[in-house]
Amino acid sequence: MESNYNKKSVLLPHNMKLIGIIISALAFVIGVAIKAKNAESENSDLIALFTYTGMILGLLFVSLSREKVEDERVDRLRAQSMQFAFVFAAISTIIRPMIDLIFGDPVEMEQAHSVVFMMLLVYNIFFLFLKKRG
Amino acid sequence: MKNILKVERARHNMTQQDLADKIGVSRQTINSIESNRYVPSTVLALKISELFGLSVNELFELDEDD
């Protein structure tokens, strides 16, 4: 019996997972290397922007790529992971400024890039954890 | 929800991978169902029961907690 899941879901091919990991890792390494070389650069915001963008793009590819066997259980794990990542990002966005306040650090609003990056990272880690747990 | 999937699979001399291939899911999904960590959808439950020539009620049973 053929499953309809592979036909129904709009996902990227499975090999995009590896490509996504490479893009994320490259963006991180390049970003850190540029930052280390030009620590006092005026373009540090621009470097951070490109680094985050590259990592977000890579993680998006990872999260949107198809599993080898895409079935209803994987669908449910995706939903659970998305729910967890969403709640985690919301709580973290509330708590982080409070931690800054407690420790006397300058309070800043969360940037969209860091929130989206955190959501994607937590989503992928939690999805991997649930998949391995069986 | 309890099930006798493992028993039926053994009775039909099938591995988890064989069953997974026949109904178009992953081996991990079969493993999760057998160990009661995952409750399959109606469609999947019907597919499995049809394969073993049983009714869904014979293959799956409600637990006290359900």
DSSP string covering B22-44, please? HHT--HHHHHHHHTTS-PPPHHH
Of B35, B38, B47, the CB nearest to A73: B38
A32: nearest Cα among A20, A22, A47: A47
pLDDT by position in tens, chain A (length 134): 555 555 566 899 999 999 999 999 999 999 988 888 877 777 778 888 899 999 999 999 999 999 999 999 999 999 999 999 999 999 999 998 888 888 888 888 878 899 999 999 999 999 999 998 87
The residue count of chain A comes to 134
Tokens of A126: 């939690």
Identify all chain A residues contacting B41, using CB atoms and an 8 Å cutoff. 72
- Write the CB contacts of A52 (distance below 8 Å, at least 6 apart in sequence): A113, A114, A117
Q: Do residues A3 and A68 make contact, with C-beta atoms less than 8 angstroms apart?
A: no
- Give the residue from chain B lying closest to A132, CA to CA: B28
Confidence at residue A4, expressed as pLDDT on a 0 to 100 scale: 58
Tokens of A25: 């890792």
Summarize pLDDT for B5-40 with one digit per residue, the tens.
Answer: 999 999 999 999 999 999 999 999 999 999 999 999
What's the pLDDT band for B46 if we cut at 50, 70, 90?
very high
Question: Do A68 and B25 lie within an 8 Å CB cutoff?
Answer: no
Q: Do residues B1 and B64 make contact, with C-beta atoms less than 8 angstroms apart?
A: no
pTM of the predicted model as reported, rounded to 2 decimal places: 0.85
Q: Do residues B59 and B11 make contact, with C-beta atoms less than 8 angstroms apart?
A: no
Confidence at residue A1, expressed as pLDDT on a 0 to 100 scale: 54
Q: What ipTM goes with this model? A: 0.86
- Give the residue from chain B lying closest to A3, CA to CA: B24
Identify all chain A residues contacting B49, using CB atoms and an 8 Å cutoff. none
A25 to chain B, any CB pair closer than 8 A? The answer is: no
Question: Do A73 and B47 lie within an 8 Å CB cutoff?
Answer: no
A134 to chain B, any CB pair closer than 8 A? The answer is: yes
